[in-house]
Amino acid sequence: MFKRLGNLIRGFFGLFISGLEKQNPEALLEVEKENLRKQISEYNKGLSAHAALCERLMAQVKREETEVRELTAKATAHLKAGNRQLAGEYALRLQKLKGEHTENVAQLEAAEKTYEELKRAREVAVTAAREKIEALKRDIDSTRIAKATAELNEMAAGMINEIGGAGDTLNRLEEMVRDEKEKALGRARVARDSIDNSELQTMESERQALEEMALADFAAEAGIVIDSPGGAAPTAVADAAPPTAEGGKTM
């Protein structure tokens, strides 16, 4: 029974954690990025140790090459001098050294090849991991955008269903506004029909008569003959010839 209870508790926590991961994919992605950095660091440590081995082999090969040249020179010199025993000892040492040198050169070449392969493998793995992380980031952003768009569409659909329904608030408001508008138009019509236009017409006739009288006075002072309204155009009156200054008769 306790085992079943433990399984139930673990399952509950597993579901809880899974729910948190779904709600926070960015946090999970950051954890994976941190794990990738740690893996790269550990891999680089191993790669550094292998590089150190390559350096040791390279230094050993260089020392052996120097020693081969020295032993060759000594064996040659003693052989030319007639010291066959010393020449033979140097020749034996040279023979063993050349064997070791050949083996170390082969090991160095294999180590260098392995180092290059490890470097390429690291680069390929890191590049693939980074590309996957970037793809996941884009997918997360696209998912969030899609979810937001879906929520907006759902809200819009709900608003359309609520707004477009018969008897809703907007319909009632439209009816109230139309009713108030019709009432206002009716009041304006009644007020317009209630105005007494006779007094306005009398005032307008008096104003026109005053204008005609003023115009007649102005024409008389200016010596202009005008017809009644609606007649011919006015004509100017010619001035009479003045008498001569000598008092003679005019011709």
pLDDT, position 242: 46
Distance CA 77, CA 94 (A): 14
Neighbours of 49 (CB within 10 A): 9
Of the ranges 22-36, 60-74, 190-204, 227-241, the best mean pLDDT one: 60-74
pLDDT, position 235: 46
Query: In whole numbers, what is the pLDDT of the chain averaged over residues?
Result: 75
Distance CA 40, CA 116 (A): 16
Sequence ranges of the domains in the chain: 26-140
% of the chain at pLDDT higher than 70? 69
Q: Could you tell me the two tokens for 166?
A: 């018969």
Q: Could you tell me the two tokens for 145?
A: 């955008």
Asked whether residue 62 carries a pLDDT value surpassing 90, the answer given is yes
The closest alpha carbon to 59, from 51, 49, 47, 69, belongs to 51
Asked whether residue 246 carries a pLDDT value surpassing 50, the answer given is no
Q: pTM of the full predicted structure?
A: 0.46
Distance CA 129, CA 136 (A): 10
Distance CA 96, CA 67 (A): 12
Asked whether residue 189 carries a pLDDT value surpassing 50, the answer given is yes
Asked whether residue 239 carries a pLDDT value surpassing 60, the answer given is no
Strand partners, 224: 236
